[in-house]
Structure 1
Amino acid sequence: MRDPEREDPYLDDRAGRLVRPYTVSNGRTRPTAAFDLLTLVMATGRGRSHNHLGPDHSEVLGLCTTPITVAEIAAHIRMPAAVTKVLLSDLVDSGAVTTREPVVPRHDSTDRDLLEAVLHGLRKRL
């Protein structure tokens, strides 16, 4: 059953997406910019004319009003990460979005104090 809040002519509840992913990316399989699944993407509010962008680009751009990861975007638009990266690279090339690499924690991931705190927290919950 279709959700009236989310009318999408390219999505059928039983059949799934009616447009093939390679059609969305115009057959391209490689993005022009480097993205990690945890790369943060945010709309810039500027950029050249978006007339050449399709409905999928517009949907992605609408998701980028606040910082969002590539993985989250792919989940929202129900597309493979590779296709999402191609769409995002188009938006980066047009100046519509900007990206930032994920922040890597500065502490050692095997920090004994951190592991003991996690273990203590788990024991309290059990």
Structure 2
Amino acid sequence: MTNRPEHRTPSAVRPYVITLGRSQTGTAPLDWETLVMATDAAFPASLQPEHHRILTFCQGLLSVAEVAAHLGQPPPVVQVLLSDLIAWGLIVIRPPIPPAEHHDVTMLRKVLHGLESRL
């Protein structure tokens, strides 16, 4: 028994084949932090294997970056595949929450003060 790290073989299918030669989504690309989730719609039989794998992974909320990691594909490739699934109504998205514009730390100071008084 040897202690070899698990070696992952790269896919024989090139990314441009998976996206059918497309490098753009036709819409604004999804942020890597965007959360995606499969809808309850039935999977069409005509889906590519990668589309099917994405739908299988996305039964709960996953970020675009997490989907890319599960697929072992670069995020831009996954963005193209996800845009297909969104257009077909098989995936819903939740954009990342924008950073707060208001920099009021009053509430944080109150919480910190309350925690310090209990220690």
1:1-126 pair list within 5 angstroms: 13=8, 15-34=9-28, 35-46=30-41, 50-106=44-100, 108=102, 111=105
In structure 1, the gaps of 5 or more residues are 4-11, 118-126
Cα distance in 2 for partners of 1:78, 1:112 equals 44
Cα distance in 1 for partners of 2:38, 2:18 equals 20
Cα distance in 1 for partners of 2:95, 2:26 equals 16
Q: Specify the alignment match of 2:117 in structure 1.
A: none
Structure 1 residues 39 and 109, CA, compared in 2 at 3 Å: closer, same or farther?
Answer: farther
CA RMSD of aligned residues (A): 2.7
* One-letter amino acid matched to 1:44: T
Question: How far has the Cα of 1:111 moved from its partner?
Answer: 4.7
TM-score under structure 1 length normalisation: 0.69
Question: How far has the Cα of 1:107 moved from its partner?
Answer: 6.7
Cα distance in 2 for partners of 1:21, 1:53 equals 16
Cα distance in 2 for partners of 1:36, 1:70 equals 7
Number of aligned pairs?
105
- Partner of 1:16, secondary structure, is coil
TM-score under structure 2 length normalisation: 0.73
Q: Specify the alignment match of 2:116 in structure 1.
A: none
Q: Specify the alignment match of 1:8 in structure 2.
A: none
- Partner of 1:98, secondary structure, is strand
In structure 2, the gaps of 5 or more residues are 113-119
Identity, % of aligned positions: 37
Question: How far has the Cα of 1:78 moved from its partner?
Answer: 0.7
Structure 1 residues 74 and 110, CA, compared in 2 at 3 Å: closer, same or farther?
Answer: farther
* One-letter amino acid matched to 2:31: D
Which aligned runs of 4 or more in structure 1 are off by greater than 4 angstroms?
A: 107-114
